[in-house]
Amino acid sequence: MAEMNQATAQHLFEDGAVLILLDVPYGTEIGINMNSWQAAENFKGIKMIPPGLHFIYFSSCSSEGQLASRTGFFRYFREREVVVRKWNSFVETFDPEITDEEELNRFIQNKKELDRYCGAFPYDSYKKWVSLSRHITTETTGRVLPTCGYIMSATALLSECSNTASRASQSKSASVPLNKMTADNLMPEMKENLDTVINYTSIDRFIEGSDSAMITKCATDSELILNSVLERCGSWQNVLAELQWSFLCFLIGQHFDSFDQWKKLVALLCGNQSSIYKYEDLYTELISVLHFQLKELPEDFFVDIVSSNNFLTTTLHNLFANISESTASAGLKSRAQKFSDHLTKHFGWDFDLEPEDCEPVVVDEFGNY
């Protein structure tokens, strides 16, 4: 754990960014990266924020002390930047950033006065945050960020008014009296608000238009699918960036669709052997990314979510076997072996045993497994 020395503290005090949060209700959960708190009476924001990418999140608190679902957003802070957002109690979220230059200047001039009401950035976990986010760029965030700009842990739904009106019209002509119709028939049809959907790269089981032989090849070695994903993402660095982005949205943002995307990316990368030599830098960095990610998952997580279907043990077994059997450099093979040994020691996973679901997959001409 990195502690902030006096020189670093002085540097961040002078050159760090400040996030001013106005009118935050008492008890509201406010977090940045790996740390969160519940707002006190005079809370005004967070100071001494290092330049770069950060994840800000919040949950409103009821009068009974119950926290609502978490909402968050990624933000790149510049040196000495002052960002101001005001709480909107009607919708229980923050209004857009204040951009009026004259109004912003007033806050900048009052920065020292506001200082005592702002919490210091939790620098002791900053190194951990960097290790979990270092591949993420502004390009990544711009590509996958929902239209609304927020990561919402609870699915946002919209009602289809037209369907409701149609059902009401039908009910008037129905032979069954209105007061005896079920509540479900009178409820509006709900659909997910597409403005809140994260624009992750789609990962299919096989390339569209493939014949049965190609589908079988995709099922046993995902080189073609990986190439398709790399092409759409633009580079292998962007693939790792999305891997980190989805992991953070799940781990901190509590967004469970992001966990599904993370699993798909892990399975895709671990299930590929043909391209390991071609993308050796990708796999060298992948091991590092997975190392830091697995360190952050609590022990009971593996029991409750991952180990129930042996997802990680199976996919990582595939990764280590593929690297071992590839024509990759001795350096990558040594790195993979050290990672395997570390996981065996830490979690007790035996990667020498063949997983039950590693039998060859063959499909017929109709694409059936």
CA distance 331 to 175: 77
Q: Do residues 17 and 32 lie in contact, with contact meaning Cβ atoms separated by under 8 Å?
A: no
Check residues 10 and 361 and name the one with the higher pLDDT. Answer: 10
Asked if 16 contacts 121 with a C-beta cutoff of 8 angstroms, the reply is yes
The mean pLDDT of the chain is: 84
Three-state SS for 127-186 is HHHHHHHCCCCHHHHHHHCCCCCCEECCCCEEEEHHHHHHHHHHHHCCCCCHHHCCHHHH
Q: Answer yes or no: is pLDDT of 307 > 60.
A: no
- Say what the pLDDT of residue 219 is: 63
Cβ atoms < 10 Å from Cβ of 114 = 18
Contacts of 330 (CB under 8 A, 6+ apart): none
Q: Are 71 and 150 in contact (CB under 8 A)?
A: yes
Quickly list DSSP for 4-25.
PPHHHHHHHHHHSEEEEEESPP
Instruction: Look at residue 272 and tell me whether its pLDDT is greater than 90.
Output: no
- How far apart are the C-alpha atoms of 167 and 188, rounded to whole Å? 8
| pLDDT tens, position by position, 81-90 | 999 999 999 9
pLDDT tens profile 168-192: 555 454 455 555 555 556 566 778 7
In this predicted structure, what is the pLDDT of residue 178?
52
Are the C-beta atoms of residues 118 and 20 closer than 8 Å to each other? yes
Q: Which DSSP helix (H) or strand (E) runs through 357? A: none
pLDDT band (50, 70, 90) for residue 319: very high
User: How are strands ordered across the β-sheet holding 118-120?
Assistant: 93-94, 82-88, 17-22, 45-49, 118-120
Residue 13 pLDDT? 84
> SS3 of 203, please?
coil
pLDDT in tens, 245-256: 999 999 999 999
pLDDT digits (tens, 9 = 90+) for 124-157: 999 999 999 999 999 999 999 999 999 999 877 7
Q: Phi/psi at 158 (nearest 5 deg)?
A: -120, 145
236 SS3 class: helix
- In degrees and rounded to multiples of 5, residue 366 shows phi and psi of -95, 0
Maximum CA pair distance of the chain?
80
Q: Give the burial class of 90: count Cβ atoms within 10 A of its Cβ; 0-12 exposed, 13-18 middle, 19 or more buried.
A: exposed
Residues 198, 181: Cα–Cα separation, whole Å: 38
| Confidence grade of residue 314 (pLDDT, cut at 50, 70, 90) | confident
Q: What is the pLDDT of residue 156?
A: 73
* Cα atoms found within 13 Å of the Cα of residue 296, Cβ hemisphere only: 21
Please write the tens of the pLDDT for every residue from 202-240.
987 665 666 676 666 666 667 888 988 999 999 999 999
State residue 250's pLDDT score. 95
pLDDT (0 to 100) of residue 90: 92
